[in-house]
Amino acid sequence: MTASTFLFRGAAVPFRPGETIAAALTAAGLRTFGLDPAGRETRYFCGIGACQACLVRVDGVLVEACLTPARADGRVEPAEDRHDRS
Amino acid sequence: MVIVGAGIVGVSTAYFLKRAGVSVRLVEARAPAAAATGAADGAVSVASKRPGPMMATATAGIRLYRELTAEGVLDGLFFTRSTFLVAVDDAEAEVLATHAAALAASGVSVERLTNERLRALAPSLSADVRAAAEVREEGHAIGYEIVRRLIARAGLAVERGVRVDALVADPRTGRVTGLDTGAGRIEAEAVVIAAGGGSADLLGLSGVLRARRGQLLVTERAPALNAGLPGAIMSARYLLSKASAPGAAPAASARGYGLVIDPLRTGQFLVGGTRENDAARPDTDAEAVAHILRDALRLVPGLASVRLLRTFAGLRTAVVDGLPLVGAVPGRAGLHVATGFEGDGICLGPLMGRSIARLLLGEDPGVDLAPFDPARFREGRAAA
Amino acid sequence: MTDPDLLVIGGGPAGIAAAVRAADAGASVMLVEMRPALGGAFHRRPIEGVEPWPIGREGERRWARLDEGLVRTGIVPRLRTAFLGLDGAGAALLEDRVAGRVEACHPRAIILATGALESVRPRPGWHRPGVVTAGGLQVMMKETGRIPEGRILLAGSGPLLIALAGQLTARGRPPVAVVEAADPFTEMVAGLGLLAHPRHLAEAAVHLGRLALARVPWRRATVLEAITPKGDAFEVRLRDRRGRRTTLEVDHVALHDGIRPNDHGLPAANETPGAGPIVVSAGDGREVLGVVAAEIDGERAADRALALIDGRPEATRDHLRRLARERHAQAVLARVFAPARPLDPLETLPDDTVLCRCEGRTVGDLKVLFTGADTPAGREIKLTGRFAMGLCQGRFCAHWVAEASARLGPDAPAPRPRDLTGDRWPARPVPIAALAAVPDAPKR
């Protein structure tokens, strides 16, 4: 295992280089990645960026966890709408 | 009676006639709300109207929405909220001040807001906004939802996919007695043409009506940002684009931009738009969309981290003199028209439908239709 | 950005083959791929330090050839770049997810090689976290080498279920069962057609052999009726050919009901020079014929595009002959995997069954639209029912809503999925900050 991690809801999630956020969260035992802005549970489904079900928030913007590589020391938040609007 | 066109105007006409116990057929070339009604921003608003007949009619249009909602007809579809006119520079602030005064003078509830009050009301707005006015008692209604509800309430069965080829008239009297359609001849005691751009061919008004394209955008849900906007945000520049500020001339350029940011009840945003002459198809392009978005970001910076979900465009039917075409068609007994509302069809549709229905029933339409009289385009007469 | 002669969308076998073929013919080529790596569904590349998924020696040779072609032609693919569609002005819109901006590009021709999308039929509970597509499970396995912990059930229909089950078994993690709506063993006559396609037959034999050895039940002519959460696991209800119902408790459900072209929101083919860019589609995105055909079709599409923009000669005969062979194989497979009994019509599912996963719109919500005197048409179903209006833009519900609507309103013309999805760009949601970066174009 490599030492690379990103923060999800404040907790460090390990990942291997090149791994997507969805793969890392799934490997960490998460079945849902939090709520989406409509209040539904986000979850891995199609794996190819088509279903929009696995959304997470990176740098304030929603991205498909299944398409987006994890970044060392990055911050990943659930998709629910709490981003900073200042 | 036969109504041609199942946009908001035609459906409203059919609804009010049915309500009065009249038997109605509603024929539609495509499907209900397939054209401008289904690609509208849903503003039930007087905020951007030019002083004069349009401002007065829009006010009456909003009142009817309120009545229909109170009766339960539009329950859950029409929502009252304010429109905020905002300015980011001196030129816009000047237009805004003039326009707010004009609205107040015609009895609209409008209030200039201090910056402090604006920040408290609309925290999602940029600090660049330096002047604002709140136009109260405005509303929002989604065109296709209104159409669907009125169809259901009236128990109408829309005759879809029926193209009208020509009007049928009595050769002796000239009175219109029906329609020739792709589905055969339809006899009618009276005919109402509410077919938007399709009205021109039927009425021989090709020089009078023109298509004006509007491009609109819908974002994904962003409830927190959405909650920071208590109503529609309308850039004072929109007034310039729409040429509705007093003394402003209709836009001569092919493409005008105006900005409205509407926080939808879903938590999404509807952002618009363009006004484009001579556009053949209702499509959207990245250049216009990016332009609209840059304007929107200037007013609501938090939109930067929201994703755009859809773009769409409508071809609105406009009349060359900027006023709709509503009433009896001169020299064609039995024929009425109601079209040419450009971007105001959602606001005015139910009211104009009721007015036409009342005319057909021999009643007082209840609003002054004289400025919209089709007779102003009779041969040999200059445009009003 | 310099506008290329040819823009190729999708870095699977069809896209790579097209890009290499066009570059070999002297065209300037831009190859874009939405994911962080090339490969596509079959040749999906593992992340660093993970062994590539075994795809057989022939598969490895094919990938080596594609990879060598890219090296030889010097094509540097643009990864993490999504195609948003063609706008009304004919610009191809590319979202560069590394730079966070959208670019308007004006190639002379575009080859769409976006591969296939899985069909997953709605069933009660199919929207729950922990229920994935079989392809989604395969993506995870191929990229990371990992298989989720717990009991896995594969259900639906199609050869992919057997292939995936064989792969899981080879990794020492056989699924609890494979539930298959068809009964391939009774389709003997149709199955004989596969004798003409030894590659498919050999592959099936390997997978089925593995399943038999590991005693994985292949429950044919059986459907998965419902998925109900039970603690952290699921209780799934199955119905066999005689209508007998049984339940199973599992931790993961992977669904798959076939595949279809992934053509959502993409421009229509355009072979008329002068009417905007030439658009040619290739591979599974045009017609689902599988990985071997994808490569052949990519070359065919490149030839076609270059013929249309430069009048270069096409060598279509050999391509078409080889494609016809793959088409025959797929047709045989389709017959073998035809459902043993008619599937339950969607409108007979419980009213609270989710059709639109994004917005949670249900069978009951759809039926309400058909209760009045007036039968709504496709676009009205979308707008007033809010189907196909969510973030996936109808990719996972439009087909089903159209199918159910045709039955609910039999007197009206049957709606097409495209009536529900519409065909406007953006083909996928795009960050406003990225799109606002598109400059006003100089007048062309």
> How large is the ipTM?
0.94
Looking at the structure, tell me whether residues B295 and B152 fall in a common domain. no
- Same domain? For B219 and B99 the reply is yes
pLDDT tens across C407-427, in order? 999 988 899 999 999 888 999
pLDDT (tens digit per residue) in A42-72:
999 999 999 999 999 999 999 999 999 999 9
Residue C337 token pair: 């995997």
| pLDDT average, residue stretch B340-355 | 96
Q: Which of C95, C356, C432, C438 to mutate to test the interface with B (most CBs of B within 10 A)?
A: C432
Q: B363 and B215 in one domain?
A: no
Indicate whether B237 and B297 sit together in one domain.
yes
The whole domain housing A73 covers 5-78
Residue B50, in any domain of the structure: no
* C341-359 average pLDDT score: 96
Determine, yes or no, domain membership for B284.
Answer: yes
Same domain, B230 and B337: no
Mean pLDDT within C316-331: 93
Domain count, chain B: 2
Structural domain ending residue among the three candidates B301, B319, B337 = B319
* Pair B122, B157 in one domain: no
Quick one: pLDDT at residue A81?
Answer: 77
Alpha carbons B242 and B257: distance in angstroms, whole number:
9
Region B218-231 average pLDDT: 96
Same domain (yes/no): B312, B222: yes
Instruction: Give the model's confidence band at B73: pLDDT under 50 very low, under 70 low, under 90 confident, else very high.
Output: very high
pLDDT at C387: 96
* Residue B51, in any domain of the structure: no
Statement to judge: residues B155 and B198 lie in one domain: yes
Q: B222–A82: do the CB atoms touch at under 8 Å?
A: no
In a domain, B116, yes or no: yes
pLDDT band at A83 (very low <50, low <70, confident <90, very high): very low
Residue B216 lies in a domain: yes
User: What is the mean pLDDT of the segment spanning C186-205?
Assistant: 81
Mean pLDDT of chain B: 92
| Edge-to-edge strand list for the sheet holding A5-8 | A11-14, A5-8, A75-78, A55-58, A61-64
pLDDT digits (tens, 9 = 90+) for B105-160: 999 999 999 999 999 999 999 999 999 999 999 999 999 999 999 999 999 999 99
Say if A36 falls within a structural domain: yes
Task: Please report the pLDDT score of residue C193 as a whole number.
Answer: 81
Per-residue pLDDT tens digits for C361-378:
999 999 999 998 889 989
Tell me the per-residue pLDDT of C266-310, one tens digit each, with 9 for 90 and over.
999 999 988 899 999 999 999 999 999 999 999 999 999 999 999
Do C61 and C104 contact (CB within 8 A), yes or no?
A: no
Q: What angle do CA C189, C192, C198 make, to 5 degrees?
A: 165
Percent of chain B residues topping a pLDDT of 90:
86
- C391–A47 CB contact, under 8 Å: no
Tens digit of pLDDT for each residue in B21-31?
A: 999 999 999 99
User: Looking at the domain assignment, is residue B200 inside a domain?
Assistant: yes
For the stretch C116-131, pLDDT in tens is: 999 999 999 999 999 9
Contact, C288 vs C260, CB < 8 A? yes
Burial class (CB in 10 A: 0-12, 13-18, 19+), A84: exposed
CATH, residue B28: 3.50.50.60
In a domain, residue A85? The reply is: no
The mean of the pLDDT values for chain C is 94
Q: Which of C49, C117, C144 sits opposite A50 (nearest CB)?
A: C117
Q: Which chain C residues are within 8 Å of B304, Cβ to Cβ?
A: 431-433, 436
Minimal C-alpha gap between A2 and chain B (Å):
31
At C194 the pLDDT is 81
pLDDT higher at B38 or B278: B38
Residues B171, B173, B177, B178, CA torsion sign? positive
Residues 6+ apart with CB under 8 A from C191: C184, C185, C332, C336
Residue B287 counted as domain residue: yes
Give me the CATH number covering residue A31: 3.10.20.30
**Are B255 and B155 in the same domain?**
no
What residues of chain C lie within 8 A of the CB of B289, using their CB? 87, 435, 438
Please determine, for residue A85, whether its predicted confidence score (pLDDT) is greater than 60. Answer: no
Task: Name the closest residue on chain C to residue B38, using Cα atoms.
Answer: C383
Measure Cα distances from C324 to C287, C297, C321, C330, C347 in Å. Answer: 12, 11, 5, 10, 37
Residue of B nearest to A79 (CA): B222
Sign of the CA dihedral with C337 first, then C342, C344, and C345 last? positive
Using a CB-CB distance cutoff of 8 angstroms, which residues of chain B are in contact with residue A37? 220-223, 267
| Residue C168 pLDDT > 90 | yes
| CB atoms inside a 10 Å sphere around CB A9 | 12
- The answer to whether the Cβ–Cβ distance between B31 and C377 falls below 8 Å is yes
Decide which of C208 and C10 is more confident: C10
Assess whether B169 and B122 both reside in one domain: no
The per-residue pLDDT for B242 is 61
Q: Which domain holds residue B117?
A: 81-139+209-319
Amino acid at A52: Q
| Residues of C whose CB is below 8 A from A52 | 358, 390-392, 428-429
Same-domain check for residues B234 and B296: yes
As a whole number, mean pLDDT of residues C36-59 equals 92
**Per the domain annotation, does B60 fall within a domain?**
no
Residue-level pLDDT at A43:
97
More confident residue, A1 or B41: B41
Taking the Cβ of residue A40 and every Cβ of chain B, the question of whether any pair is shorter than 8 Å is answered with: no
pLDDT tens digits, B35-49 = 999 999 999 999 989
Domains belonging to chain C, first-starting first, are: 6-117+261-313 (3.50.50.60), 120-257 (3.50.50.60), 346-421 (1.10.10)
Reference A76, options A61, A57, A60; nearest CA is A57
Is the same domain home to B183 and B122? no
Radius of gyration of chain B (CA): 21
Q: Name the range with the highest mean pLDDT among B130-139, B269-278, C50-59.
A: B130-139
Total number of domains constituting chain A = 1
Domain membership of residue A84 (yes or no) is no
